[in-house]
Amino acid sequence: MTFRPFWLAAASVAALISACATTPAAPPQAEAPAPAPAPEPARPKAQVGAFGFDVSGMDASAAAGDDFFRYANGKWAERTEIPADRSNITSFAAIAETAAQRTRAIIEDAAAQNAAEGSEARKIGDYFGSFMDEARIEQLGIAPVKPELDRIYAVRTRKDLSRELGLTLRADVDALNATDFYTDRLFGLWVAEDLNDTTKYRPYLMQGGLGMPDREYYLGDSARFRELRTKYQAHVAAMFKLAGYDQPDARAKRVMDLETAIARAHWTVDDTANVQKANTVWSRAELAKKAPGIDWDAFLAAAGLQDQERFGAWQDTAIAGIARLVGAQPLQAWRDYLAFHAIERGAPFLSKAFVDEHFAFNGQALTGQPQQRERWKRGVDNTSTALGEAVGKLYVQRHFSPEAKAELQRMADNVLKAFGQRIDRLDWMSAETKAEARKKLANFRVYVGYPDKWRDYSGLEVVRGDAYGNQYRADLFEYRRNLAKLGKPVDREEWFMTPHTVNALFAPSQNSIIFPAGILEPPFFDLNADPAVNYGAIGGVIGHEVSHGFDDLGAQFDANGNLRNWWKPEDLARFKAEAKKLADQYSAYEALPGLNLRGEQVLGENIADVAGLATAYDAYHLSLGGAAPRTIDGFSADQRIYLGWAQIYRAKYRDEALRRAVITGVHSPGPWRALTVRNQDPWYPAFNVQPGQKLHLAPADRVKIW
């Protein structure tokens, strides 16, 4: 069956209305009989609607069983316009806008303090102030990048080239975080626990080197990809011209040809996410034997890795293929390639002509975003990237209460308890595998809000008036911070997100779950909201992250985070069969004409959604301690849980952005994440969903994973 949601074709009819600031309207009548309403205890009003979700954003004319996304979010979708400076609008983005406003105030306060030289407040203020000093940036033009361009121009031998490639290496990828798979540098470095022995760190090399998002943009035969390739080559030429290079068109063609060759060597998204296939380790000597073409001694010395004896080769054949190109492609092509990428990386920190050209391709052409984001927003993002925990420390002092932290911990405890009970109830899993699953669950660590120990930025030099240099030094600082882990004990309490990030994560090798303060805002979480809504929203996210420990990737890691098979064969076969049902279910959804979701590519996230929401439902009922759930304003508790879930996945996309999300992403776009309710048995009676309705699944077809 193919579904295309109404909101893709609907014209936007109003200015953006925040998902977090709506006016409640008369609610629709509940479709299933509900218990008699019980009096509500007095409590402060929730920030969204009367009790925690946006009734006015629902579309009661839609049947929940035909289009649950529209039923939960239809009026919001009709009245909400994607801002001109965005390629999509989601609940995550709405909270991120609030976080950006708060962070701007923090940064500007830091800038106004005239704090002591070398202090974190001074660095925050100087970094942001330098980025906002457009007159100074305009005056400098291309000059800040000139030393790097001169060094590239001096490359005359393969050894020189290898050394230059080593100098560009940065710790800007994460093999277990699908949003950070790729880098525009030839290789990326991921410093993480050894997958086979998580008591020590290992450096992993990963494929990179592309200026467009994925190999398919270079190799795909659709009209859209052919058009983008033409625009990209023109963009490369424009950047060369702005930087004062002669023969910009010829240089651009050499870059395009070289990147196309690199793309042919690349692994796909699915292959990259296959941890068993990717867990390849090479000795220092094997680098030269298995990936000839690079002078690895020169590369590693320049990269500061000369003392490492073993490396992870995440996409081994791609690394070998790219190395062959280093040894075979003309040096002039490599000089052009390196020069372009140096200019392209620096462009957001250079004069207006570079900024505008960078946005014309990376924003408008690739994602359909009509307008550049305001400069202060970009400044906030860049400052947060460079000094994230320093900014985050100030953020949580102002915007995250001890009461919110304590409530999230209580909810997480209930979710973990509920997940354990779900393990116990599984009728298809053997006692031996259940014991291993229980052991893993008992070893989970949950971190809420902010880290217990903060990162030290004393080694980061920030110079007022040097926007490009500050960004360059911040990247290098982060790279060296990662290199410093090698040979030291693993830090089990490291945070991989800043406290004001609007997201959450599970770290498979650490069995740790992180919920930054940034995401703990309405509609995800509100201390004053109805608990059923909170459990459907942030409880579903907590369950999602817990379930990542047991999805198609997480289930391969044991209680200590080691990559080890702890499954009996028959249990694993049943798990894979159920997972295939879910992959097939999502492959049937059509995002754009002729473009369906890729069920295998988004499988891990969808397993986490299915299991996470089911666990959150159980956790809510556990939290009642035997009391009867209440009906509020005509909505039963079960309805509120599922509406809370659906409203955190509000989303609208420009076609270009949706296409990119489907091709390169491992998350289903928001409207399809909302549809995971189809696999939840209690959803059917809650909304009186009947056979024959579009979203109805027969009980045997509902996916039950965990």
pLDDT tens digits for range 424-460: 999 999 999 999 999 999 999 999 999 999 999 999 9
Angstrom distances, CA of residue 682 to CA of 428, 439, 546: 21, 29, 21
**Is a pLDDT exceeding 70 seen at residue 16?**
no
For the record, the structure tokens of 229 come out as 């390739």
User: What is the pLDDT at residue 8?
Assistant: 43
Question: What are phi and psi for residue 349, nearest 5 degrees?
Answer: -110, 10
Given CA atoms 675, 681, 687, 691 in this order, what sign does their dihedral have? positive
**Is a pLDDT exceeding 60 seen at residue 98?**
yes
Q: How confident is the model at residue 467 (pLDDT cuts 50, 70, 90)?
A: very high
Mean pLDDT value of segment 665-692: 97
User: What is the pLDDT at residue 14?
Assistant: 28
Angstrom distances, CA of residue 450 to CA of 236, 407, 447: 41, 15, 7
Q: For all residues of the chain together, what is the average pLDDT?
A: 92
**Is a pLDDT exceeding 90 seen at residue 2?**
no
Q: How confident is the model at residue 179 (pLDDT cuts 50, 70, 90)?
A: low
User: What is the pLDDT at residue 22?
Assistant: 31
* Bigger pLDDT: 556 vs 177: 556
Q: Are 326 and 294 in contact (CB under 8 A)?
A: yes
Pairwise CA distance, residues 592 & 409, whole Å: 40
Mean pLDDT value of segment 643-649: 97
Strand 445-449 and strand 512-516: the pairing is: parallel
Q: How many helices (H) and strands (E) does the chain have?
A: 30, 11
* Bigger pLDDT: 25 vs 687: 687
User: What is the pLDDT at residue 140?
Assistant: 97
User: What is the pLDDT at residue 45?
Assistant: 87
**Is a pLDDT exceeding 70 seen at residue 95?**
yes
Give me the helices (H) in 141-186, please: 146-153, 158-168
pLDDT digits (tens, 9 = 90+) for 99-135: 999 999 999 998 888 889 999 999 999 999 999 999 9
Pairwise CA distance, residues 591 & 69, whole Å: 14
**Is a pLDDT exceeding 80 seen at residue 361?**
yes
Mean pLDDT value of segment 288-311: 98
Mean pLDDT value of segment 62-87: 96
Mean pLDDT value of segment 263-273: 94
Q: Does CATH place domain 165-237+244-329 in 1.10.1380.10?
A: yes
pLDDT digits (tens, 9 = 90+) for 318-342: 999 999 999 999 999 999 999 999 9
pLDDT digits (tens, 9 = 90+) for 513-571: 999 999 999 999 999 999 999 999 999 999 999 999 999 889 999 999 999 999 999 99
User: What is the pLDDT at residue 180?
Assistant: 75
User: What is the pLDDT at residue 110?
Assistant: 86
Query: Is residue 137 classed exposed, middle or buried when 0-12, 13-18 and 19+ CB atoms within 10 A define those classes?
Result: buried
> Residue 578: in which H helix or E strand, if any?
helix 569-587
- Sheet strand arrangement including 512-516: 445-449, 512-516, 505-507
For the record, the structure tokens of 694 come out as 């579009």
Distant-in-sequence, close-in-space partners of 223: CB < 8 Å, separation ≥ 6? none
pLDDT digits (tens, 9 = 90+) for 181-208: 789 999 999 999 999 999 999 999 999 9
* Identity of the residue numbered 705: I
* Bigger pLDDT: 74 vs 115: 74
User: What is the pLDDT at residue 388?
Assistant: 96
Least confident of 95-109, 165-179, 503-517: 165-179
**Is a pLDDT exceeding 70 seen at residue 276?**
yes
**Is a pLDDT exceeding 50 seen at residue 19?**
no
**Is a pLDDT exceeding 80 seen at residue 26?**
no
Q: How confident is the model at residue 178 (pLDDT cuts 50, 70, 90)?
A: low
User: What is the pLDDT at residue 113?
Assistant: 84
**Is a pLDDT exceeding 90 seen at residue 11?**
no
Question: What are phi and psi for residue 84, nearest 5 degrees?
Answer: -60, -25
User: What is the pLDDT at residue 38?
Assistant: 47
User: What is the pLDDT at residue 473?
Assistant: 98
**Is a pLDDT exceeding 90 seen at residue 28?**
no
